[in-house]
Copies of this chain bind each other. A is one copy, B any other.
Amino acid sequence: MQTEANVLPFTSVRSVAPIAVHTHGGRAKCLQRLIRLDLPIPETAALSFDTVHKLAEGQVLRVNSLIDNFGENALLSVRPSSEDPDWGGPGAILNIGMNEAYHARLSQTHGADAADLLYFRFVQAYALNVERLDPEFFEFDKKTPYSEALKSSLTAFEAETDEPFPQDIETQLFRVLRSMAQAWQGTTARLLRQANGAPADAGLGLVVQEMSVSVGVGECGIGVIQLVDEKTGKSLVRGKYTPQTQGRAALKCANATMPLAKDGSKISLEDKNAEIFQQLLEAAQISRARLRAEMQVEFAISNGKLSILDAVRVPFSTKALLRVSVQLAEDGIISREEAICRVPARSLTELLHPQIDPSGNREVLAQGIAASPGGAFGRIAFDSMAAQSYQAREEACILVRRETSPEDIRGMHSSVGVLTERGGVTSHAAVIARGIGIPCVVGASIRIDLKERTLTTESGETFKEGDVISLDGSTGEALNGAVAMMPPSMDKWYLKLMTWADEIRDIGVRANADTPADAAMARSFQAQGIGLCRTEHMFFEADRLTAVREMIFADSSEDRNEALSRLLPMQRSDFIELFRIMSGLPVCIRLFDPPLHEILPNDRAGAKQLAMALDRPLSDVTRRIEHLSEFNPMLGMRGVRLGITIPEIYAMQARAIFEATIESSKAGHQIEPEIMIPLISAQKEVELVKTQIDAVAATVRNETGETFNYRLGVMVETPRAALIAHKIAQHAQFISFGTNDLTQMTYGLSRDDAGRFMNEYVRQSVYPEDPFHMLDTEGVGELLRIGAERGRQTNPEVTVSLCGEHGGNPESIAFCRKAGFDYVSCSPFRVPVARLAAAQLAASDAKK
């Protein structure tokens, strides 16, 4: 059949020509490296992506020279070799070359049983993968003798294909290769690998290897060995050995397998053949040291002779991968930089789940399956849109669904935890939650009424949207209210890696923290200070909120100052507490910012309460609330606009900051506070506020006779502020980009409202990603570049940073580092991710 065809090209991995991962795949490359380490690898040939692509396209290529490469009477296996092992590939096919003649020969040398087994296995694999026949014709129970299975298979093959089983090795090999090449192009295979990050045109290489016949006389069998525990990362000799069989699948049958090293309980390979065990151990150690990774080594023993068939990286949990990477560096096998780079930064969130404090009060409202560990609390959100709205308002929420589907992913990203009525540990909700690193409880004993938007427990208690619950993803419990949390434990491997990371990191990492709890978390994660402390949250507690509202409603400066004088001591003590926790580190405090509607009561009861507090008629209060309501609160009277229109607010806050600085200093906590003005859109706004703050500082210095320093800067959230950064920087010691609002304004897109079409937009690739999750480097990023560059034009000393939620994303950090930012600030929980990601970028730059 191949008489007029071209010859199929291949590379013997034993040859001097180096094989590249991007042309022949990782397995081929790895085998070449093992051969060069003089490990006993059977003859192996590699087919390039290009060759396999031709096969998939239907080109007929002659395989005789490939067969010749292996000499006469070789049985061959074919394995996939893709660029990244995570991208998968078709299953291995063994025993190519087996036919009646070979069977007869093998019966002589290895016994009839071995020959029957190998021939049957090949017919079965060929029928299923090459001819795509119905598997049921080729399945037999364990009691069926191999001879009978073989006979039935050959009959079934002929009956189904109207042809006898091909005896010609060229036909066998060509068709096997072609079937594997085509399998790679199948829709399911393509979708699966693209889900794992493969590009659309990812190639497949194939590895053809002479088989070591691990069935027959003498010591025969197959096994795997590795020098590490894949769950913990601890060093040990681990593996399995199954005599008289072939194929990795056989290792799954626990009855027939034995341990490798002596363990006293069960006969081991070491017991049976100490010499081979020694050879194997050495091969595994060489692989680890020279391939510079923990490898799982696949081996075969054929009549007392050891062959190494393959070696793949041991798949680790994050915790184990981290330990192994540190261990490899400590053993001198890899550099510290490499250890840093081997742990995906985002995966740290898995390690660092805060936990629910077991000593706290727990009122369990429902029990479910513990599907993703960690603890969290937040408001109930019954769908993605609600979850995204809460996130936009910077309120933590728990997504509560019957079950989740891909439409809910955005909502899950916006939530701190997920609770579902249905599903198990492999349900969509469970898988995604573990991926994101948020706690998840599935199959919980709750009933959700989506129309009424309520959740009812078994005991009949009903919760509404917005009610606060907690999740313990480690016990599978949903709890009533917000329960006490405690920070995650950080083991010595983690601490060592992060120490190394901090040594090479060249961009600062701070945390966004509004409360003492946040600050403590930030400190425990070694944030280098607070990059954004939102003061308005401090005023939303009931007693303070009333004073804030009175201040907003005050007709006279006197009334206003009276309300503010009640707020001053509370605000001062907030800062004293924060400064104590952050002692010695910078704390950047953003002045009062929220839109008016967040301050005003939004229902009749609230209005009534305010009317009483203000001693005014209710109608008066409601009229004023109506008058103050805004069409587009995001673009309304907030930030510095409030600060300039009601200057008493900022004056009070500045005083509280300065007085707290003095008191903290007396208590031994040195802080140089940073004061940040929000929502700047004009140079004059900075000048006016700066003049005012400086005056307050002078007053406080005069009153107290104490000295203190502070830095004044600007939050850049409007496109205009970025465009005129050269003017702003003349009056600012730092500029910090608030990318949440900046994204809203650059796109003309309210985060509160984007939920309605964001899914559709991302699905149609109108936006490559939701710009509120992934920094838009093209548009928003352009303003960041312009702002940083112009700011430094007039003030080379100005500190430049990013304090939006993007701050914890490795991609954003890469962007900021490249643009020369001084630091990023992110939620406390993302600080370790940011520290590691930044170190990885530095390491990768150093490598170049």
Contact = CB atoms under 8 A, between A and B. Distances in A.
Interface of A: 389, 628, 630-637, 641, 644-645, 679, 681-682, 684-685, 688, 717-720, 723-724, 741, 744-750, 752-754, 756-757, 760-761, 764-767, 776, 778-780, 782-783
A74 B631 CA distance: 73
10 contacts: A631-B633, A634-B635, A635-B744, A635-B745, A636-B753, A644-B757, A682-B766, A719-B779, A720-B780, A724-B778
Given A632-B633, A637-B753, A752-B631, A746 B764 contact: no
Contact of A753 (B389, B635, B644, B685): B635
| Across the A-B interface, the 5 shortest Cβ-Cβ residue pairs | A635-B750, A720-B779, A632-B750, A636-B753, A631-B752
A748 B750 contact: no
Given A747-B718, A765-B684, A756 B632 contact: no
Given A641-B757, A644-B766, A724-B778, A750 B719 contact: no
Contacts of A780: 720
B748 A635 contact: yes
A631 B749 CA distance: 11
Contact of A720 (B724, B746, B757): B746
Interface of A is mostly: helix
A761 B632 CA distance: 19
Contact of A747 (B637, B681, B746): B681
A557 to B, nearest CB: 15
B719 A745 contact: yes
B760 A645 contact: yes
Integer count of this chain's copies in the complex: 2
A717 B782 CA distance: 17
A637 B764 CA distance: 16
A752 B630 contact: yes
A272 B746 CA distance: 78
B637 A635 contact: no
A387 to B, nearest CB: 15
A760 B782 CA distance: 32
B753 A681 contact: no
A626 to B, nearest CB: 12
Given A631-B634, A632-B633, A637-B756, A748 B644 contact: no
A632 B392 CA distance: 12
Contacts of A631: 389, 633-634, 750, 752-753
Nearest to A747: B681
Contacts of A720: 746-748, 776, 779-780
Contacts of A389: 631
A681 B644 contact: no
Contacts of A688: 764, 766
Given A631-B753, A632-B635, A756-B637, A681 B748 contact: yes
Contacts of A764: 644, 684, 688
A724 B771 CA distance: 15
A748 B389 CA distance: 20
A636 B750 contact: yes
Most buried by B among A720, A723, A744, A782: A720
Most buried by B among A633, A637, A682, A753: A753
Nearest to A644: B766
A746 B723 CA distance: 9
A778 B637 CA distance: 22
B724 A766 contact: no
A523 to B, nearest CB: 33
A461 B645 CA distance: 39
A748 B718 contact: yes
A746 B748 CA distance: 9
A636 B758 CA distance: 11
A734 to B, nearest CB: 20
Given A682-B766, A748-B745, A753 B632 contact: yes
Contacts of A778: 723-724
A635 B681 contact: no
A772 to B, nearest CB: 12
Contacts of A753: 630-633, 635-637
A819 to B, nearest CB: 15
A12 B464 CA distance: 92
A635 B635 contact: yes
Contacts of A766: 644, 682, 684-685, 688
Nearest to A720: B779
A189 to B, nearest CB: 28
A797 B481 CA distance: 62
A724 B767 CA distance: 13
B644 A749 contact: no
A443 to B, nearest CB: 29
Contacts of A749: 635-636, 681, 718
Given A631-B633, A644-B760, A757-B637, A783 B719 contact: yes
A628 B389 CA distance: 13
A513 B684 CA distance: 37
Nearest to A634: B632
A367 to B, nearest CB: 33
Contacts of A779: 681, 719-720, 723-724
Contacts of A748: 634-635, 679, 681, 717-720, 741, 745
Contacts of A634: 631-632, 635, 748, 750
A300 B778 CA distance: 75
Contacts of A632: 632-635, 750, 752-753
Contacts of A760: 644-645
Contacts of A756: 628, 636-637, 645
Given A636-B756, A644-B760, A717-B748, 17 more contacts: A389-B631, A630-B750, A631-B634, A645-B756, A681-B746, A681-B747, A681-B749, A684-B766, A684-B767, A688-B764, A718-B746, A719-B745, A719-B779, A720-B746, A720-B747, A723-B783, A724-B779
Contacts of A644: 757, 760-761, 764, 766
A779 B716 CA distance: 13
A782 to B, nearest CB: 5
Nearest to A681: B747
A70 to B, nearest CB: 52
A686 B738 CA distance: 28
A636 B741 CA distance: 14
A389 B780 CA distance: 30
A301 to B, nearest CB: 58
A656 B389 CA distance: 38
A629 to B, nearest CB: 9
A97 to B, nearest CB: 53
Most buried by B among A719, A747, A756: A719
A328 to B, nearest CB: 44
Nearest to A727: B778
Contacts of A633: 631-632, 753
A341 B761 CA distance: 51
Contacts of A719: 719, 745-746, 748, 779, 783
Most buried by B among A630, A748, A766, A780: A748
